[in-house]
Amino acid sequence: MFKKISVLLVAGLLTACDHPLELVGNGDIISASGTRNCTLEDYQAYASSCDENKTFVDEVVYEETYYAIPRPGWVFDRWENYCEDVVINECSFYVAPEGVPSPPNDYAVDPLRAVFVPATLDFLARGKAPIDLEGIDADFYGGVNYGELERNVFDIFIPDSDEKTPLVIYIHGGSFTGGDKSNAYQDFNIENIRSYLDAGVAFATINYSLIQYANETEGVIKCLSDSQRALQFMRLHAKSFNIDPEKIASYGISAGASTSLWLGTKDDAAELRNVDPVARQSTRLSAMGAIETQATLDLVRWEDTYEPFGITLELIAAASELLRQQMVDFYGVDEIDDFYTPETTAYRDSVDMLDFMTSDDAPLWVNNSLFSAGFPASQGALLHHPFFARELRDQADVVGLENVAYIPELGIEDPSGETIAEFFLRHLGE
């Protein structure tokens, strides 16, 4: 138990130094002098007491001690940028700018950041694992709520470990209109779960809100947003789950695949000053996997994909009332013509993973192998065509994103032979 005197490394010319105070989680930074406080409410309101925090002017000594005070249900975790080796919630500074000439502008330094994390979740209750773990030592928690809606729940397996463990999240398929987190426990995926747990990697499978047929106003974004919140909730409660928030991968089939791509390619959606602590968490991934996937959720771009077959959205709508209704439900509109309004165009842009992709995104593993590369004569073939996986592989190559692709109908087979479990374990172990 000790505190540390930190010295600000500032430029040689200054009259006043902005020493911002930042909060991560729910808590306050209170100064011993009582003159430099940054409360949670102040921080969320972008108050000058947090963002500027003038430390000295001319020859005035900057001498201050700060205390990180957690809010109920939270605990202080650490300081960042200064006092990083301090094990208590106290950080002290002493700076005396004697004899320093005065420049015309102020000078800003790195913020003093206090990180708070939620206290251990007390509502978690161990349950019986829904699959045979074959002797692997791991705890199972089922039906954990990450939000207020009925389908805002997930299951999680936590391997026994003295160290923080990486996490793999499975997102079920079902065209965003059906499916369940229990799909992860089907035979095709059980060995993957065992591989993760045996390697000391936690595994979670989530439910999310579904699109309602012929009665939908929000569209697919509500499904995607739920999955994003589940990811952020697990990050927020990383300490309770003993997971490493910096090492999380996601994969799924069909709708779950495109959701993982959306999470893995979009800009970080963390809202650092949101009053909701879940919304403040990062949404970025360390790796993403897509099985029988779409390349983009901008349905208009599918016309480019299917141009060799002369398939358009109008032709699809004319051929099947079911598909027409599912397409308009997808964006919560009434007609296909509504796809081209400014509002829906912006909506489509917000779910276009192919356009989001950059070289610094999560490395990609993709496999579309169930359907032929010919004319998509069924709904399943239309939604999971090999052309989609090829578009993803090609775009990843263009932007310089690492990828492993298996598209046998198009003669594309990664020479590594790396399975999705091996791919994830490699990247989560880096």
- The per-residue pLDDT for range 319-344, each reduced to its tens digit, is 889 999 999 999 999 999 999 999 99
Q: Which of 286, 222, 290, 288 is nearest to 255 (CA)?
A: 290
**What pLDDT, on a 0 to 100 scale, did the predictor assign at position 102?**
44
The values of phi and psi at residue 203, to 5°, are -135, 135
77 within 8 A of 116, measured Cβ to Cβ: yes
Distance CA 9, CA 249 (A): 38
- The single residue listed with the structure tokens 């909701």 is 276
Q: Where are the beta strands (DSSP E) in 174-282?
A: 202-206, 243-253
Q: Phi/psi of residue 234, each to 5°?
A: -65, -35
- What residue ranges of the chain have pLDDT lower than 70? 1-18, 54-62, 94-109, 122-123
Q: Where are the beta strands (DSSP E) in 71-108?
A: 74-80, 90-95, 107-108
Nearest to 281 by CA among 223, 248, 225, 235: 235
User: Is 3.40.50.10490 the CATH classification of the domain at 138-428?
Assistant: no
The predicted structure's pLDDT at residue 9: 43
Evaluate the CA torsion angle 324, 329, 334, 338 in order and state its sign: negative
pLDDT of the residue at 11: 40
Nearest to 66 by CA among 103, 96, 104, 29: 29
The helix/strand/coil state of 180 is coil
Distance of CA 422 to the CA centre of its chain: 21
Calculate the dihedral angle through the C-alpha atoms of 332, 336, 342, 347, rounding to the nearest 10 degrees: 40
Instruction: Centre a 10 Å sphere on the Cβ of residue 407 and count the other Cβ atoms it contains.
Output: 22
Q: Residue 127 in contact with residue 34, Cβ under 8 Å?
A: no
- Per the CB < 8 A criterion, the answer to whether 278 and 232 are in contact is yes
Q: What's the pLDDT score for residue 62?
A: 67
Please give the structure tokens belonging to residue 86. Answer: 């301090």
Beta bridge partner(s), residue 69: 28
Q: Which of 138, 134, 118 is nearest to 126 (CA)?
A: 138
Please state the φ and ψ torsions of residue 299, each to the nearest 5 degrees.
Answer: -65, -30
Q: How far apart are CA 367 and CA 379, in angstroms?
A: 18
Whether pTM exceeds 0.75:
yes
| Single-letter amino acid code for the residue at 369 | S
Q: Which residues pair with 80 in a beta bridge?
A: 113
Task: Compute, in degrees rounded to 10, the torsion defined by CA atoms 420, 423, 429, 430.
Answer: -150
Spans of all domains in the chain: 5-118, 138-428
How do residues 14-43 score in pLDDT, each as one tens digit?
445 567 899 999 999 999 988 889 999 999
pLDDT for the residue numbered 60 = 58
pLDDT at position 16 = 52
- Write the DSSP symbol of residue 196: H
